[in-house]
């Protein structure tokens, strides 16, 4: 998994990589600039009239100057602005400045008339991970002007003004796209920074995960390439028992759709047998949405150990008898998946937490998490609380959101890269619950079940949204689950 290292460590990483590979820092900057330009030329409408690049004094500015040259070589009209005397800029900035072709228009920022032509693009190379204090003076004036412009805005590495691993503390460039090098800086994954980042794109500049591992601080980014090795393989003689028997408990009156969604998702994730146990006096009153599902009447006494995995909570309601909740925990000794009202009931009855089997997977959204551990002032504090909670209770916490964060009982924290905003729709969390339960039932370790569940769920959302966009509903995500295996090359 790709380590998310701190902004402070980036310099050391660069130095180590440069000396190990025998290349210069200028070469690495050229790679970063080329990676940016490769993204730009394949993503941005080629009919733009003008590209404005704003270059600060450090290496982020140096990237901007190199990008100016490379875009001009590809016949874009480029106007470069620099903010500080070139003599006072970083060495690699200067080296790139001296390589600028005549066709790049160059102006010092304080001599600019402030006009931005229509159909143009703004590229922000003012500050990168080297920001070390709030933006003031000429820098602040520039960012304020740019933030008012209607042109498409693109940030190099990180929107200027945003610190790499903290909450924003002053003026920040508001990008439509952020093209970050090598790994996502931690602050690019915080929900409070959504309006600064726009769409996030991570471009590889060739530094290996092994090189980065030396600097890791226990935070990682989960990508498609990490997933296949987490999967179990099945063979020609596998039978449905090998694929697991799953029970989904929840679904009070009027809310049985939630367990139906979880159960359907478990089937599509390859579970052999899936049962529903709605919280109704007569569970046989409901009709499962698909005929492959079965109903289970739980009388609070049966041994549940016949099931390979259990998920509890979707649509359960808060009227559940706590003795029943306790009876489930007493009758099933393997790790379980807990979601929705299973979590809300836990928040209301904190003593229950000690009865939950170790390594169980809890999947709160931000509000459910707040009910469990109290308010957090920002995502950094929330991450810290997630870590303490997972370590103290020996549980796996899947904190759902745009970049769902999986925290393991040893404190490692893994951000998911898959998914999109179209997944913010009723029931998409129920789908995730069913998927994680399915992998658990197929014999995956709870850690692998959580990671595979989260990644495949996000990918299913991406695939389904290609044809449904804003109209996507949770059932569309379920229908796309089989394609996620194809996409990742998992038989
Ligand atoms: N491995 C990587 O990630 C690579 C990084 N590169 C680029 O290098 C950047 C980092 O470069 P630097 O370390 O030079 O840092 P920056 O370019 O972010 O700028 C740091 C400079 O700005 C000054 N500064 C910081 N905060 C300020 C403020 N509020 N007001 C005024 N001046 C301020 C600092 O004193 C320093 O001179 C990355 O973000 C990336 O764009 C690439 O060139 C090469 C590869
Ligand atoms: N903007 C987003 N980007 C990526 N994934 C998202 C986004 N919004 C929501 N999701 C995902 O959708 C799911 C929503 O779950 P949840 O809030 O429990 O919904 P519900 O209770 O309706 O089932 C989570 O897995 C979450 O990660
Ligand atoms: K920037």
60 is in an annotated binding site: yes
Q: What confidence tens digit (pLDDT) does each residue in 148-187 have?
A: 999 999 999 999 999 999 999 999 999 999 999 999 999 9
Q: Count the residues in the chain.
A: 491
pLDDT-based confidence at residue 288 (cuts at 50, 70, 90): confident
Judged against a pLDDT cut of 80, whether residue 241 lies above it is answered with no
Supply φ then ψ for residue 167, to 5 degrees: -80, 145
Q: Which ligand is closest to the CA of 27, given by its number?
A: 1
Q: Kindly indicate the confidence band of residue 5, based on its pLDDT and cuts at 50, 70 and 90.
A: very high
Task: State the pairing for strand pair 219-222/2-3.
Answer: antiparallel
Residue 34 labelled as part of a binding site? no
The pTM is what? 0.96
How far is 255 from 344, CA to CA, in rounded Å? 16
427 touches ligand 2 (CB under 6 Å): yes
> What value of ipTM does the predicted structure carry?
0.92
Whether the CB of 402 sits within 6 Å of ligand 2:
yes
User: Which H, E and C letters describe 57-90, residue by residue?
Assistant: CCHHHHHHHHHHHHHHHCCCCEEEEECCCHHHCC
Alpha-carbon radius of gyration of the chain:
25
Q: Mean pLDDT check: name the lowest of 11-25, 303-317, 368-382, 395-409.
A: 11-25
CB 143 within 8 A of CB 126: yes
Ligand 1 contacts (CB < 6 A) are: 10-11, 14, 28-29, 32, 56-63, 90, 127-135, 139, 156-157, 181-182
Report which listed range, 63-67, 117-121, 284-288, is most confident.
63-67
pLDDT, tens digit, 9 for 90 and up, residues 196-218: 999 999 999 999 988 999 999 99
The pLDDT, as a whole number, for residue 289 is 80
CATH 3.40.1190.20 maps onto the chain at 228-487
Between helices 366-373 and 340-348, what is the axis angle to 10°? 20
Report DSSP state, residue 283. G
Give the residue from 129, 132, 73, 133 showing the smallest Cα distance to 104.
73
Contacts of 22 (CB under 8 A, 6+ apart): none
Pairing of strands 396-399, 361-362: parallel
- pLDDT at residue 284 greater than cutoff 90: no
Closest ligand to Cα 91: 1
Give residue 404's region: left, alpha or beta (phi > 0; psi -120 to 50): beta
Residue 281 has which token pair? 């006096």
Q: What percent of the chain has pLDDT over 90?
A: 90
Q: Which of 30, 39, 58 for a ligand 1 pocket mutation test, highest count of atoms within 8 Å of Cβ?
A: 58
- Ligand 1 atom 19 nearest Cα: 58
Half-sphere exposure of 33 (CA within 13 A, CB side): 27
Burial class (CB in 10 A: 0-12, 13-18, 19+), 362: buried
Residues 6+ apart with CB under 8 A from 317: 252, 253, 255, 279, 341
For tokens 């909740």, name the residue. 325
Q: Which residue has the tokens 């489930």?
A: 328
Task: Please state which of the four CATH numbers 3.30.70.60, 3.40.50.10260, 3.40.1110.10, 2.70.98.60 is assigned to the domain occupying 2-217.
Answer: 3.40.50.10260
Ligand 1 pocket mutation, candidates 128, 156, 175, criterion most atoms within 8 A of CB: 128
> In 3-state terms, what secondary structure has residue 222?
strand
303 marked among binding-site residues:
no
Q: Does residue 237 carry a pLDDT above 90?
A: no
Q: Give φ, ψ of 459 to 5 degrees.
A: -65, -40
* Strand 78-82, strand 50-55: pairing: parallel
> What mean pLDDT do residues 21-42 have?
96
Query: Which residue's structure tokens are 């090598």?
Result: 182
| Token pair listed for 106 | 């160059």
Confidence band, pLDDT 50/70/90 cuts, at residue 287: confident
CA dist 175 → 134, 136, 155 (Å): 18, 19, 6
Cβ atoms within 10 Å of 333's Cβ, excluding its own: 10
Residue closest to 133 by CA, chosen among 163, 166, 89? 163
Can you list the positions of beta strands (E) in 209-269? Answer: 219-222, 245-250
CB atoms within 10 A of CB 397: 26
CA gap 78, 159 in Å, rounded? 20
Report the alpha-carbon distance of residue 146 to residue 140 in Å, rounded.
Answer: 10
* Whether residue 341 has its Cβ less than 6 Å from ligand 2: no
If you take atom 18 of ligand 2, which residue's CA is the nearest one? 429
Nearest residue (CA) to ligand 1, atom 43: 29
What is the Cα–Cα distance from 92 to 63, expressed in whole angstroms?
A: 9
Return the HEC string of 14-40: HHHHHHHHCCCHHHHHHHHHHHHHHHH
Q: Which residues surround ligand 3, an ion (CB under 5 A)?
A: 60, 124, 155-156, 160
Among 476, 382, 370, smallest CA distance to 423 is for 476
Rounded to an integer, what distance in angstroms lies between the CA atom of residue 21 and that of residue 138?
38
| Predicted local distance difference test score (pLDDT) of residue 411 | 98
pLDDT score, position 236: 85
419 is in an annotated binding site: no
pLDDT at 468 over 80: yes
Band the pLDDT of 28: cuts 50, 70, 90: very high
Per-residue pLDDT, averaged over 291-303, amounts to: 91
Percent of the chain whose pLDDT exceeds 70: 100
Ligand lying nearest the CA atom of residue 54: 3
- Fold of the domain built from segment(s) 228-487: 3.40.1190
Q: Is the pLDDT of residue 491 over 90?
A: no
Residue 238's pLDDT band, with cuts at 50, 70 and 90, is confident
Confidence of residue 127 (pLDDT cuts 50, 70, 90): very high
Element (H, E) at 375: none
- pLDDT at residue number 290: 84
Is the Cβ atom of 432 under 6 angstroms away from ligand 2?
A: yes
User: Can you tell me the mean pLDDT for 401-409?
Assistant: 98
């Amino acid at each position: 998994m790709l380590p998310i290292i701190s902004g402070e460590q980036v310099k050391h990483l660069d130095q180590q990589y440069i000396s190990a590979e025998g290349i210069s820092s200028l070469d690495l900057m050229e790679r970063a600039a080329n990676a940016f330009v490769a993204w730009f030329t394949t993503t941005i409408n080629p009919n733009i009239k003008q590209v404005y690049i704003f270059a600060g004094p450090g290496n982020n500015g140096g990237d901007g100057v190199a990008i100016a040259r490379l875009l001009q070589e590809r016949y874009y009209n480029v106007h470069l602005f620099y903010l500080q005397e070139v003599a006072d800029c970083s060495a690699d900035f200067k080296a790139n400045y001296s390589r600028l072709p005549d066709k790049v228009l160059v102006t010092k920022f304080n001599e600019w008339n402030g006009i931005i032509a229509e159909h143009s693009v703004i590229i922000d190379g003012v500050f990168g991970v080297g920001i070390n204090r709030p933006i003031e003076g000429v820098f602040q004036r520039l960012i304020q002007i740019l933030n008012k412009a209607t042109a498409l805005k693109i940030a190099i590495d990180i929107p200027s003004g945003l610190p790499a691993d903290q909450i924003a503390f002053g003026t920040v460039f508001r990008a439509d796209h952020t093209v970050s090098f090598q790994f996502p800086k931690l602050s690019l994954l915080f929900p409070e920074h959504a309006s600064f980042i726009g769409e996030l794109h991570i471009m590889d500049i060739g530094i290996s995960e092994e090189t980065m591992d030396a600097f890791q601080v226990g935070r990682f980014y989960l990508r498609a390439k990490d997933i296949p090795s987490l999967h179990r393989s099945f063979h020609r003689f596998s039978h449905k028992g090998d694929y697991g028997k799953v029970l989904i408990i929840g679904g009070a009156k009027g809310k049985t759709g939630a367990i139906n969604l979880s159960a359907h998702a478990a089937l599509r994730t390859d579970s052999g047998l899936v049962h529903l146990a709605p919280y109704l006096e007569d569970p046989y009153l409901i009709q499962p949405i698909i005929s492959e599902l079965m109903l289970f009447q739980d009388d609070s006494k049966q041994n549940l150990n016949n099931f390979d995995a259990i998920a509890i909570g979707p649509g359960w309601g808060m009227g559940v008898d706590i003795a029943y909740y306790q009876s489930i925990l007493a009758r099933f000794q393997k790790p379980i998946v807990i979601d929705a009202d299973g979590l809300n009931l836990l928040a209301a009855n904190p003593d229950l937490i000690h009865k939950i089997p170790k390594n169980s997977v809890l999947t709160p959204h931000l509000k459910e998490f707040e009910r469990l551990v109290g308010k957090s002032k920002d995502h950094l504090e929330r991450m810290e609380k997630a870590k303490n909670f997972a370590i103290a209770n020996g549980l796996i916490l899947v904190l759902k959101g745009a970049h769902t964060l999986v925290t393991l009982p040893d404190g490692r924290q893994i951000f998911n890269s898959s998914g999109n905003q179209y997944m913010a729709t009723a029931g998409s969390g129920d789908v995730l619950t069913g998927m994680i339960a399915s992998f658990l039932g197929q014999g995956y370790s709870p850690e692998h079940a959580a990671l595979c569940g989260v990644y495949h769920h996000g990918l299913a959302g991406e695939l389904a949204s290609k044809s449904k966009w804003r109209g996507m509903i949770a059932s569309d995500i379920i229908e796309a689950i089989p394609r996620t295996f194809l996409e990742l090359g998992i038989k």
